[in-house]
Amino acid sequence: MTLPKDRFRERPANRVAPGTSGIVSRYAVAVAALGAALLFRYLFRESLGLKVPYLQFYPAIIVAAWYGGAGPGLLTTALSTLAAMYFLLPPDGMSVTDPTDVLSLVVYVATGGVISWLNHRLHSAERGQRTAAEAAVARAERLDAILNMTVDGIIVIDSRGRIEAFNRGAQDLFGYPEDEVLGRNVSILTAPSHHEQHDAYLERYLTTGDAKIVGVGREVTGRRRDGTVFPVQLSVGEMWIGGERQFTGMLRDLTKRVHLEGELGASEARWRAIVDSAVDGIIVIDAHGRVEAFNRAAERLFGYAAQEVTGHNVDMLMPSPYREEHDSYLSRYLATGRAKIIGVGREVQGRRKDGTTFPLHLSVGEITIQGERKFTGILHDLTSRVEIEGQLREQAALAKLGEMAAVIAHEVKNPLAGIRGAIQVFGDRMSQAGAPAPILKEIVSRIDSLDQMMKDLLLYARPPKPRRTSTDLVPLVKMTAGLLSEDPALQDVNIEVDGAAPPVSADPDMLRIVFQNLLINGAHAMQGKGSIHVAVDTLDSTCQIAFLDGGPGIPADIRGKIFTPFFTTKSRGSGLGLPTAKRLIEAHNGEIVIDCPAAGGTKVVIRLPMGGA
C-alpha cells in the first residue's frame, strides 16, 4: 500500500544551509549585495551624480533580506544608509542638514526595515511549512510502513466503490497485486452473488444514511484472485479526505478460526453426545455449588429438566440433612483443601423433583477450566441394587425361617396334636361325669390357634410351587366369598363381585388362600359390617383383581410395613397373612399393590400375567 507522499513534497527549497556556515553565508550575501550596489553607483557616478541616492540600494536590501532574513536585511539597510549619508548627501561627511534629505533618509530606513521584516515573516512561514511538510512526509512514511507490515488487509475505497489503497496484507489475502486492483470496483473481491448487493448497499447508504455495516463489523465472504471464497471479518469506517467521502475496510481472514470452530463444535458435539448417552447421571458445578451441566441421565434420575436446574445450587437435589451441610463442606474444602468425597466415591441419598428420595453412588472429581474450579459428579442409581440386596437379605432370612419352621413343625406341631387329643379325651370323660369343662375347650381353642399359626408360618417360609391349571378367576372369587358368608361373624358383610376376564394359568388353591385373606382383612377393617366390592378386569397383558372395602383405610405411617412378617394391627393375629399373600402372588410372577383412595377405604389390587409365565 503506497500513500501519496508526493503531495507533501511540494515545499519551498532551502535558501540557507543550517548551522554556523549558514549564518556566515547569509551575512556574506548581504555584504556582497551592498558591495554590488556601491559598485553600480560608482560606475554610474557621472550619470547619476547626487540624484536618487537610495535607489541602487533597494535591490541589495531585497536580496539580503530574501536570502538571509531580517538580520542581513537590516544590516544592509544600516550600511547603505551610512554610505548614502557619507557619499551621496550634502554636505560631505556624516551630517545631513537639508530637511528634505533627512525626510528621505528616514523613509529609506523605514522602507528597508519593512522589507527586512516582511522577509523575516516569509522566512518564518516557509520554515513552518517546511517543518510541517517534513512531519507529514515522516508520518506518511510511518503509516505506510505500518499499514504494509500489518497482517490484516486494509482497503480504502471512494464513494463510488473504487479502490484507492490496497495494503500488503490485502494483497496476501486476496492474491491480487496492488496495481491490478487500484481504480477497480471493490466488488471484485466479493463473491459473485454479492456483487450487485454491494453496489446497491453503498448507493442506499449514500442516499439515506442507513448503515448496516459502517461503524460496526460482521462476517462476510471474500473472493480470491483464483476464484476461491473464504470467510472474512470486515470492519468498515467512514472518513473525509479533501472534501471527499472515503471508506476504510479492515479485513481479517477467518478461515483458520472457522475451521477451528468447526472442529471445536464437532468435538463438543461428540462429548455432548457421549455425556448425554451415558447411563449414569453427570452433573458439573462451579466453586459456588451452582449447576453448570446436567445430562439427560441426570434428568431421568431426578425428574428435573436441565433448564430447571442450571444456575441453581446443587443442594436442591439433596434431602436433609445433606442439603444444609453441602455448602459448608464445599467452603471448607476450598479453604483447607481437605476432601472427604472428592476423588473417591460413596453412597448418598438423592431427592427427586416429586420429593421422594433414592440411593445413589456418587463419585466426585475436580477440574480447572480457564482458571476456575469445577466439580464433576457422576451418579449411579442404586435403587435396583438396594432392592436386590433387600431381596437377598429377605431370601436369606426366609431360608433360616424355613429351617426354623421345619424344626417347629417336627418338634412342636406333632406334640401339640398329641396334647390336643389328650385334652379332648379328658373333656369327654368330664362331660360324661356331668362336670363342665369350659377351661378344656379354651385350651383346645388355643392349641388350634397355635397349630394354625404353625401352618401359616410353614406356608410363608416354604410356599409350595404353584400347580398351574386354567383358572377362571370370577367363579373362584365368588366361591371364596360364598364360603366366608357362612361364617356367623361375617353375616353382615356384603361381598359384590363383577367384571370378567379370560382364564389364567394359576394354582386355584393358592389364589383361594390369597382371596380369603384379603376378604377377611376387609371384613375385620369394617368391624364385620359393610360392603366389599371385587372387580375383575384385564389391563394390557395382565388380569387385574381389585378388592375395595369400606373401612377406615390404612394410616400412611404404617403402609410401608404391612408386608413385613409378623407385623399386625390386630389384637390377635400372626401378622403373616399379607406377607404370605404377597409371596404366593409373586410365585405366580404377579404383583400385589395396596392403596387408600381419598374417598376412604382400602384398595388391594392383584395383577397376574395373562399367560401365567
For 280-339, how does the pLDDT look when each residue is reduced to its tens digit (9 = 90+)? 899 999 988 899 999 999 999 999 999 999 999 998 999 888 788 787 788 888 888 777
d(CA 54, CA 37): 10
Per-residue pLDDT band for 53 (boundaries 50, 70, 90) equals confident
At residue 309, the pLDDT reads: 92
Cβ(471)–Cβ(578) under 8 Å?
no
Q: Give the per-residue pLDDT at 352.
A: 92
Instruction: Tell which wins on pLDDT, 90 or 81.
Output: 81
Q: Pick the residue with more confidence: 511 or 415?
A: 511
Range list of β-strands (E), 454-529 = 469-471, 493-499, 504-506
pLDDT bracket for residue 547 (50, 70, 90): very high
Asked if residues 561 and 555 have their Cβ atoms less than 8 Å apart, the reply is no
Fold match, 286-371 / 466-609: no
Domain ranges of the chain: 7-145, 150-258, 286-371, 386-460, 466-609
pTM, two decimal places? 0.45
Q: How far apart are CA 90 and CA 84, in angstroms?
A: 10
Distance CA 542, CA 591 (A): 10
CA angle 6, 10, 13 (to 5 degrees): 130
Q: What is the Cα–Cα distance from 73 to 64, expressed in whole angstroms? A: 5
**CATH of region 150-258:** 3.30.450.20
Residue of 177, 211, 208, 176 whose CA lies nearest to 190: 176
Return the residue matching grid coordinates 467512514.
238
Decide if pLDDT at 565 tops 60.
Answer: yes
From 3.90.950.10, 3.40.50.1780, 1.25.40.10, 3.30.450.20, which CATH number describes the 286-371 domain? Answer: 3.30.450.20
Is 5's pLDDT higher than 50?
no
Architecture of domain 466-609: 2-Layer Sandwich (3.30)
Instruction: Spell out the alpha helix ranges (H) of 248-310.
Output: 255-277, 296-302, 306-309
Cβ–Cβ contacts within 10 Å for residue 611, how many?
A: 10
End-to-end CA distance of the chain: 87
Note the pLDDT of residue 607.
92
409-438 average pLDDT score: 67
Those residues with Cβ within 8 angstroms of residue 464's Cβ, 6 or more apart along the chain or in another chain: 507, 510
Q: How confident is the model at residue 17 (pLDDT cuts 50, 70, 90)?
A: very low
What count of other Cβ atoms lies within 10 Å of the Cβ of residue 67?
A: 20
Name the percent of the chain lying above pLDDT 70: 82
pLDDT digits (tens, 9 = 90+) for 127-179: 888 888 888 777 767 777 766 677 788 889 888 889 988 888 889 889 999 89
pLDDT at 518 over 80: yes
pLDDT class of 10 with cuts at 50, 70, 90: very low
Neighbours of 352 (CB within 10 A): 14
| pLDDT one-digit tens code per residue, 386-421 | 888 777 777 676 666 666 666 666 666 667 677 777
Tens-place pLDDT, residues 239-296: 888 788 888 888 888 888 888 888 887 777 777 777 777 888 999 999 888 999 999 9
Residue 397 DSSP SS3: helix
Per-chain mean pLDDT for the chain: 80
- In this prediction, residue 52 carries a pLDDT of 65
